[in-house]
Each structure stands twice: as C-alpha cells, then as structure tokens.
Structure 1
Amino acid sequence: MESFFQLSKRIYNTSNLREVRRLVVFMLRVCLHYSALKKLQSDFEEDDVLRQVTEYYPFAYEQPTRAFFYHRSTFDERMMIVRSHMSFLRNRMRADTFLKLYRGTALPLWRGLQCMGKNLTAELFFEPGQRKEGILSVTLRIGMEPLYQIIFWIAPSPDDRKYSMWIGAMQGPNMADAKEVVKQATKVCHSYRTKNLVLYVAQAAARALELKHIYAVTNEGYYANNHVRVDRKLKTDFSTFWEEAGGHKTIDPRFYELPLVESRKTIEEVPTRKRAVYRRRFQMLDEIDAQAAEQMSTALQG
C-alpha cells in the first residue's frame, strides 16, 4: 500500500513550485485527517477494481482535503461524496467500463448531427482538471472539441437517501469562434440551445443509471468565485438557467432540484408555423434517450 507521500508525488507535479506548495499543504491536511483517509484507502485497497481505479486516479484521496465540490463543503461531506460516488459506480457498472472511464476513455452516449462539417456527440468522460467540481462529466463535443460540459458526482439525496446526480458546474465553450459555433449548433439542433442539449443528455444518463434525483449548484453554491466578473456581475448565472430548465429551490440555498425528465409542450401548444421544427427537435431528443439508454445498458452490470 502506497504511503500518502508517495500518492502526493503522483497527484502533484513537483517540477512546478506552486504544485510543490500544494503537496506540502496536502500532507499537512493528511496529518489532520489521517484516520479517515487511511480508512478510505484501506477500503479502496480491499476491492481490486477500486484499487486499480485509484492507481490511475489518486485524486480521490486529494478531493476530500480541499474546498471542492460546492461552497463551504466540509471534509466529512467531501469524504462521503468520494466514497458514495465510487461505491455506486463499482456496484452498478461493469468493471472494465468503470476502469476505462478513469483511465481517460470516454463512454459514448449519443452520436448526433453534423455541424460545420463535424460530428456532434455526447459522452461520459472525466479528466483530473475537472476534479474541483465533480468526479465525472457529461461532455457535448463538436468534433474533438468540448462544447459544453456538466460536471457531477453521485451521492444520496438528503431527503430519501436515494442515489442522485449532483451537478457541481456547467462549463461552456472555450474556443476562439465560440459564439459562431454555438449559433450553428443551435440551428442544426432545430433551435434547441446547446446548454439545454447537454443538460438533456445528463438527464438521460441519470435515468439510465437509475438515479432518483438531480441537484445542481446555485450561484450561492458554486465552490469558487470564478463565475463572477471583476465588476461582480455573473459570467455564468447558474440559478437562472436551472429555473428555466424547470428546477426549484431546495431548503439548502446552495442547490436547486432539477427534473429527471424535461417538460415538453404538446404539439397542439406549439404555433402552427413552428410545428415542423418542434417535431424534428422531439425526434432528436427521443433518439438521445434511446441511444443513451442502449449505451448505458451495455456498460452496467446485469
């Protein structure tokens, strides 16, 4: 079994002075929470699959020690998140698929339309750079480039203790021609906004995983302030978008609860001139549901 110092050298790049500082801070926090972290390590080491996951993903031991996931999260809460997420996937997902996810191999969810000569696709994916906001993501891509990402973790609901999806962040495009790409993708997707599209895929993934609720951080719940501009105006207004998507406030002001199924207008409610577009949109969304359910069924244990 590796020592936490050995783990820290795999987590941090010691050729970078800033990373060396983080390594020192990590080791100090390990000393403060040694018993709990050692128990987590022992539990993961006892299971061969979880042991292999943490060999490639040592950040599972770092995440509880840092102020990640959501604003004012505690060490105990972060420990519960890591343990719950990994245990759920270990029990529900085929071992080979689970291992591949944390070795950088995506799980396809939807292969959609052509946009600007490139494929629009969606997948389950994770990379260590996303670990501040979650432990897995639904990524909408155009070609190889990420267009939108919903970063989340899986943990029990505070009400009925059933496993749920918890969205820690939604990230938009980071490319030179982002506005034009989003405009063209929206047009291709029958006037359906790309950020709504990635949320729809996340809802389909949650249902395929048989999760019972979806929660999402509000502006108040986001773990950091990098969604706020220097003039204190929001770059990303999480709360407004969750409300537009049918979400409602919870007792905890840091989270909204979102519907597992997006509400749709009936075709009779749509103005006559728009019905053809809506029919094509609904057909696209039905295809997302079908593809996500089929892809996930092959990834889950029987």
Structure 2
Amino acid sequence: MLNYTEIGKKIYNLENPREYHRYVVFRARCLLHPQRMKRLEKFFASNELLAKIADVYPFVYEQPTRAFFYNKSTFAERAELVEQHMTYLIEQLKPQEVVDLYSCREQLLWESADEGEKLRLRLFFHPGQRKEGLLSLILSADGKGDLYQMMFWIAPDKSGDWSLWIGAMQGPNMEDARDIIKQITKRCHAYRTKNFILHATQETAKALGLKHIYAVTNYGYYAMNHIRRDRKLKTSFSDFWAESGGTPCEDKRFYELPMTEYRKSMEEVPTRKRANYRKRYALLDEIDAAIADNIKKLRK
C-alpha cells in the first residue's frame, strides 16, 4: 500500500509553511479517495517501467489530488488522464527515453544553424510545469532563456483517437521580453514566436502518431492567473486558437486545432513579401524534418 507520508515528503518541502500545508491537504485528499488511489497505485506497480517513472516523478500521485489540467476537472478524470498519458508513452517510446523525460533530461528536437544565438526546440518536463500538463515543448534562445512553452498531455478523445491536449501556452517572462521577441521574429522571417511554438507542437503531435490536437480555452484554463486584476486577459487562448484555424468544441473548455498549419501559396503573397515567405517556409521545412527525425529516434 502507498505510504502517502513518504511520497508527500518527496514532493513537498516541509520546511516551507505553504508547502507543508499542501502536504497535509495531499494526504487528506488521498484518504478521501482510497479506491481511486489504490487503482493508481496498482497501475504504476503493474510493470517495472511504470514503477520507475513513479519513483523519479512521484507527482503522478499528487496531480490527481489537485485542481490541475483544466477547469472543473474531477479527481477521477485527472487520475485517468495521468494513466492514459503514461500508457501511450511507454507503448510508443523507448523505456529509457520515457524515464529521462521525467528525470528532467531534455530531448533536443531542433537547433538553429544560422548565425547568432542558438534557437532550440526541446521536449522537456519538470515538476514546476505539472499544473497544466505532463510534457512540455519549449522554444529557447541561448542567453535569453525560455521564450515559449507549450504544456500538454496525451489521451484519447471522445472517439477514442489518441490526441494531444494543450493545457497552456506560456510566453517570455523577462524585463526585455518585447525586444527579444522582436529580434527572434525578425530572425524567423517575420514569423511570430507563438505561431512558431504552435507549429512545432503540431509537428510533434504528428511525429508521435497522434490524430488530433485540442487546447484549453479561456474558460477551460485550470486557474485564473492568466487574468489581470482589472479582469482583462493577459493572453487570450481562445482568440489565438481561433486565429490559428481552431474550432470550438461542444465542450466549451476546449478548441480543436488543425494538425497542420495553413500555408499561403506564393500567389496569395504580395510580390514584395515572397522572398521572406520562401525563407520562412524553408526554415519550417527544416524544423519539420528535424522534429520527425529526432522523435523517430525516441520511438520503439
């Protein structure tokens, strides 16, 4: 039987009063849902690989107990989500690659080859990202840090198709963020960085063999920290998903996004911009090939 005391000590810093409070709440919620926690324990004890994942990433037992992932998610839904995500990964990826992802070891999917500070796309995850997902795709720049992050999980949709679910998209959080983003956008041939990270997410989903992409809406976001004190959105997820070709789902917490980004033909592009578009498309083709190749190396 799970020792919630020992697991809680691995998850929380008990010298911090706030963390100690969360530890107490964690233990209480586990005791309030004994049957579902037993099922979760049985799942992670069902084979050696899952047991190892739970050992290096004990937060699999905590995430179902907290109001994470999306608005009004239930304890049972969160537990099932964790199990489904891990089931897909261990079926599709090499065992050590899965363990590495949950041991804070990144997987490089693409690295820029032009002059200037290196841009990178990395598949990575650490416990600080656990509120919105179970994996992250990160766009970073040397000397600048992480520019954009897409947090997601993998689970079947209502039709049973394995899909990628975006829990949140986070932008840069540094003082000179606006100037940095302008520089990166110019370097990417006027391609917006948030479109960049979404495009990379679409290609990652395809490389992982997934069939659909869903994303939380403003209403679907698990918390309210994307809203300012004046109640205006810092970032409107819903607006960006709509701009990107997404369509609202029957469940208003989610949009369905296209698996492939729409590309304008050269006939649709003004003559003066065509050279820039050709360079942008060449860059995207390079990124697509790198993502496909590097994820193929991770797969069984």
TM over 0.5: yes
Q: How far 1:178 moved relative to its partner?
A: 0.6
Paired position in structure 2 for 1:109 = 109
Q: How does 1:1-302 map to 2 (within 5 A)?
A: 2-112=2-112, 117-143=116-142, 145-158=145-158, 160-301=159-300
Question: Which amino acid in 1 is paired with 2:39?
Answer: K
In terms of mean alpha carbon deviation, does 31-40 or 197-206 score higher?
Answer: 31-40
CA, structure 1 residues 153+261, in 2 after alignment: closer, same or farther (shift >3 Å)? same
Contact 2:43 2:83 in 1 (8 A): no
Question: Which amino acid in 2 is paired with 1:300?
Answer: R
3-state DSSP of counterpart to 2:120: strand
3-state DSSP of counterpart to 1:176: coil
Equivalent-residue separation in structure 1 for 2:60 and 2:235 (angstroms) = 27
Equivalent-residue separation in structure 1 for 2:96 and 2:82 (angstroms) = 20
Question: Which amino acid in 2 is paired with 1:140?
Answer: L
Equivalent-residue separation in structure 2 for 1:16 and 1:125 (angstroms) = 27
Equivalent-residue separation in structure 1 for 2:113 and 2:151 (angstroms) = 23
Question: Which amino acid in 2 is paired with 1:72?
Answer: K
Question: Which amino acid in 2 is paired with 1:280?
Answer: K
Query: RMSD of aligned C-alpha atoms?
Result: 1.1
Deviations 1:92-147 (A, max 9, x none): 000111111110111111112557x4111101100101100001010000116110
Contact 1:114 1:188 in 2 (8 A): no
Equivalent-residue separation in structure 2 for 1:297 and 1:103 (angstroms) = 20
Equivalent-residue separation in structure 1 for 2:191 and 2:113 (angstroms) = 13
Deviations 1:17-40 (A, max 9, x none): 111111111111001111211221
Deviations 1:157-193 (A, max 9, x none): 12x1111000000000011211111000000000000
Contact 1:140 1:147 in 2 (8 A): yes
Q: What is the percentage of aligned positions where both structures have the same residue? A: 52
Q: How far 1:290 moved relative to its partner?
A: 0.3
Equivalent-residue separation in structure 1 for 2:212 and 2:187 (angstroms) = 30
Question: Which amino acid in 2 is paired with 1:132?
Answer: K
Q: How far 1:230 moved relative to its partner?
A: 0.5
Contact 2:219 2:253 in 1 (8 A): yes
Equivalent-residue separation in structure 2 for 1:174 and 1:50 (angstroms) = 34
Equivalent-residue separation in structure 2 for 1:100 and 1:166 (angstroms) = 21
Equivalent-residue separation in structure 1 for 2:142 and 2:99 (angstroms) = 24
Deviations 1:179-219 (A, max 9, x none): 11100000000000001001111111000001000000000
Equivalent-residue separation in structure 1 for 2:293 and 2:141 (angstroms) = 22
Deviations 1:37-83 (A, max 9, x none): 12211221221111111111100000001100001001111011100
Question: Which amino acid in 1 is paired with 2:49?
Answer: V
3-state DSSP of counterpart to 2:163: strand
Count the aligned residue pairs: 299
Contact 1:10 1:58 in 2 (8 A): yes
Question: Which amino acid in 2 is paired with 1:44?
Answer: F
Equivalent-residue separation in structure 2 for 1:268 and 1:243 (angstroms) = 24
Q: Provide structure 2 residue ranges, at least 5 long, that are not aligned to the other structure.
A: none
Q: Provide structure 1 residue ranges, at least 5 long, that are not aligned to the other structure.
A: none
Question: Which amino acid in 1 is paired with 2:212?
Answer: H
Equivalent-residue separation in structure 2 for 1:97 and 1:140 (angstroms) = 20
Q: Which runs of 4+ in 1 moved over 3 A?
A: none
Equivalent-residue separation in structure 1 for 2:36 and 2:97 (angstroms) = 28
Equivalent-residue separation in structure 2 for 1:180 and 1:254 (angstroms) = 33
Question: Which amino acid in 2 is paired with 1:95?
Answer: P
Structure 1 length-normalised TM = 0.97
Equivalent-residue separation in structure 2 for 1:12 and 1:57 (angstroms) = 12
Equivalent-residue separation in structure 1 for 2:61 and 2:199 (angstroms) = 31
CA, structure 1 residues 96+249, in 2 after alignment: closer, same or farther (shift >3 Å)? same
Contact 1:113 1:188 in 2 (8 A): no
Structure 2 length-normalised TM = 0.98
